């Protein structure tokens, strides 16, 4: 890593980034603003061009993108969306390098913008030359709140096992993430968990509410490049109010940039964001969103206008649409398929509606919805670390797809999330890593596990696809991960890992 970022705390995505740099000329890190893309790119770069901060470089790139691409390699090009012409130039450069057999030359970062479709990035798809990695805010494993003793990868293989990203092992054999600044006696795993078996696999309800409100933003969790700590993040109990204001500032800034770039109204975008936060985890009825916007701001936008602004929120990565899963052979007419909407981090809807850790303790269902959002964020982080995952489809390292959706029959039977790895119910062509799926039911407490497990067993029976890798009740609080007699896992969120 570059010496100027010696204090950088590794993320779960780092091992995959290193692997991709060894295999392709260019890697692009894309996703919501403030997720930590620039810090990660700097940590792996020999030279840096910051197009957001360096006006001269930006002007040069606008005149001729090739002027700023050259430099010591790997060269990090930050905020590439600031110069639209840079994407095609970088892609052409990467393809030329691929032809020459040169790898590890460029690291691009971009925040998804409104001119692109949701989930798009600064460069077009060129899989042989450019690897595209989606970065999200920090997961609980990265924050040291989860011990990673029940890895998503293991669950998909049908067993409870520790995350390969925790306590030393990484896909390339290098150790992923010891906190170099961890003090004596601290069982820290450098921003990648507190270590397996340290007894931290539980959260109290007040702690859960605090992490839903604080979120996983690097700047709010002591993940600055030069930051140092002497105790695990999970044990910090600072005043959270400044962090709430920071999250609101993030949202305001993202919406202002997105609206300005698309010629849309930032006030309308804010009003819709608030309405979505009030309908968190729901399939938004456009009329209900319009009513919410009118109640909050007096606006009464047309239905087509709301759909336009929904696309804006998706493209900026603030809102994450999670589509309904229709298993092969099931009648689509009997399934809910329209997207449910969550946010890139649970702190976004919490901040927008002024939720507080104390207030959530008396608002059980609201806390449960925020927990769903937290679980979704972490599932996406863990899938991306392993090889690729989206609220839609993304290529994984085995050559198939990874995705997160939900299951809901018109009659009401529901699984909060469905995780798939491989391709559309067919073998992925990767030997033993064939198609796998798992169904998740999110509950606040393991006291709800019996009813949730019964529903998951019904989902497995009615899905009519090959047996899942797992059925799991993911709880906000509870003991250690266990497998019930009926085969359903009960996994506290503070045990779930990559």
Give Cα separations from 302 to 187, 258, 299, 306, 415 (angstroms).
Answer: 54, 20, 10, 7, 33
CA distance 303 to 474: 36
Which structure tokens are listed for 286? 């456009």
DSSP 448: G
Is residue 332 assigned to a domain? yes
pLDDT value, residue 3: 39
Which residues lie closer than 8 Å to 333 by C-beta, 6 or more apart? 410
Nearest Cα residue to 409 out of 298, 332, 308: 332
Strands of the 401-408 sheet, one edge to the other = 394-395, 401-408, 414-421, 436-445, 470-477, 489-492, 482-483
User: Can you name the residues that pair with 496 across neighbouring β-strands?
Assistant: 150
Q: How many residues does the chain have?
A: 498
- Contact between 231 and 186 (Cβ < 8 Å): yes
- Contact between 390 and 404 (Cβ < 8 Å): yes
pLDDT value, residue 390: 56
End-to-end CA distance of the chain: 23
CA distance 67 to 266: 34
> 134, 166, 197: which is the final residue of a domain?
134
Which residues lie closer than 8 Å to 274 by C-beta, 6 or more apart? 292, 293, 296, 297, 352, 353
Range of the domain at 335: 310-497
Is residue 341 assigned to a domain? yes
Which residues lie closer than 8 Å to 359 by C-beta, 6 or more apart? none
CA distance 25 to 264: 37
Question: 3-class DSSP state for residue 416?
Answer: strand
Is residue 128 assigned to a domain? yes
Question: 3-class DSSP state for residue 351?
Answer: helix
Is residue 22 assigned to a domain? yes
> 98, 116, 134: which is the final residue of a domain?
134
Is residue 333 assigned to a domain? yes
User: Can you name the residues that pair with 342 across neighbouring β-strands?
Assistant: 320
pLDDT value, residue 125: 52
Q: Digits of tens for pLDDT over the chain (498 positions)?
A: 543 466 788 899 999 999 999 999 999 999 999 999 999 999 999 999 999 899 999 999 999 988 899 899 999 999 998 888 887 888 888 888 888 888 999 999 998 643 333 344 555 555 678 899 999 999 999 999 999 999 999 999 999 999 987 543 333 333 233 222 222 222 222 333 333 334 446 799 999 999 999 999 998 876 654 333 223 333 343 556 778 899 999 999 999 999 998 999 999 999 999 999 999 999 988 999 998 898 878 888 999 999 999 999 999 999 999 999 999 878 899 999 999 999 999 999 999 999 999 999 999 999 999 999 999 999 999 999 988 655 543 333 333 468 999 999 999 999 999 999 876 444 333 333 578 899 999 999 999 999 999 999 999 999 888 877 899 999 999 889 999 999 999 999 999 999
Is residue 326 assigned to a domain? yes
Half-sphere exposure (Cβ direction) of 91: Cα atoms closer than 13 Å: 15
DSSP 30: E
Give Cα separations from 278 to 273, 284, 292, 346, 476 (angstroms).
Answer: 9, 10, 8, 12, 21
CA distance 330 to 464: 8
Is residue 271 assigned to a domain? no
User: Can you name the residues that pair with 415 across neighbouring β-strands?
Assistant: 407
pTM, rounded to two decimals = 0.86
DSSP 70: -
pLDDT value, residue 239: 59
DSSP 179: -
Tokens 């989930």 map to which residue? Answer: 119
Check the CA dihedral 273-279-285-291 and report its sign: negative
Number of domains in the chain: 2
DSSP 446: G
pLDDT value, residue 244: 87
CA distance 480 to 175: 25
CA distance 238 to 436: 41
> 107, 134, 161: which is the final residue of a domain?
134
Is residue 72 assigned to a domain? yes
pLDDT value, residue 123: 59
Give Cα separations from 175 to 135, 164, 192 (angstroms).
Answer: 20, 10, 11
């Amino acid at each position: 890593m570059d010496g100027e970022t010696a204090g950088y705390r590794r993320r779960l995505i780092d091992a995959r980034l290193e692997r991709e740099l060894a295999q392709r000329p260019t890697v692009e890190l894309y996703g919501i603003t403030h997720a930590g893309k620039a810090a990660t790119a700097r940590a792996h770069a020999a030279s840096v061009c910051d197009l957001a901060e360096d006006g001269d470089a930006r002007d040069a790139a606008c005149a001729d993108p090739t002027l700023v691409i050259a430099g010591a390699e790997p060269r990090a090009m930050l905020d590439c969306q600031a110069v639209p012409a840079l994407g095609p130039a970088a892609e052409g450069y990467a393809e030329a390098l691929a032809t020459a057999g040169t790898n590890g030359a460029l690291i691009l970062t971009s925040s998804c913008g409104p001119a692109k479709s949701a989930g798009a990035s600064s460069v077009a798809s060129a899989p042989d030359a450019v690897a595209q990695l989606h970065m999200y805010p920090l997961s609980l494993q990265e924050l040291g709140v989860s011990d990673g003793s029940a890895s998503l990868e293991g669950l998909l293989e049908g067993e409870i096992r520790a995350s390969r990203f925790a306590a030393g092992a990484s896909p390339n054999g290098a150790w992923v993430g010891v906190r170099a600044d961890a003090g004596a006696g601290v069982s820290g795993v450098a921003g990648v968990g507190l270590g397996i078996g340290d007894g931290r696999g539980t959260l109290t309800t007040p702690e859960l509410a605090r992490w839903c409100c604080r979120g996983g933003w690097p700047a709010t969790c002591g993940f600055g490049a030069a930051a140092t700590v002497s105790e695990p993040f999970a044990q910090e109990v600072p005043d959270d109010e400044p962090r709430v204001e920071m999250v609101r500032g993030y949202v305001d800034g993202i919406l202002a940039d997105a609206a300005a770039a698309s010629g849309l109204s930032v006030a309308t975008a804010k009003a819709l964001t608030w309405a979505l936060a009030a309908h968190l985890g729901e399939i938004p009825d456009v009329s209900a969103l319009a009513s919410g916007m009118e109640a909050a701001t007096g606006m009464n936008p047309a239905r087509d206008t709301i759909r336009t602004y929904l696309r804006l929120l998706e493209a900026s990565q603030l809102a994450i649409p999670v589509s309904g899963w229709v298993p092969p052979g099931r009648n689509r007419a009997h399934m809910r398929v329209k997207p449910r909407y969550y946010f890139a981090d649970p702190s976004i809807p919490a901040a927008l509606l002024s939720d507080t850790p104390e207030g959530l303790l008396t608002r059980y269902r609201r806390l449960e919805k925020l927990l769903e959002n937290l679980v979704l964020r972490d599932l996406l982080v863990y899938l991306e670390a392993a090889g690729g995952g989206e609220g839609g489809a993304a290529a994984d390292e085995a050559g198939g797809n990874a995705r997160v959706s939900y299951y809901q029959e018109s009659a009401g039977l529901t699984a909060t999330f469905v995780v798939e790895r491989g391709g559309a119910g067919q073998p992925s062509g990767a030997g033993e890593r064939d198609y796998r799926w798992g169904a998740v039911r999110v509950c606040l407490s393991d006291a709800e596990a019996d009813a949730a497990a019964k529903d998951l067993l019904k989902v497995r029976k009615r899905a009519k696809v090959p047996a899942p890798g797992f059925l799991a009740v993911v709880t906000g609080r509870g003991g250690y991960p266990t497998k019930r007699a009926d085969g359903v896992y009960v996994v506290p969120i503070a045990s779930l890992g990559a």
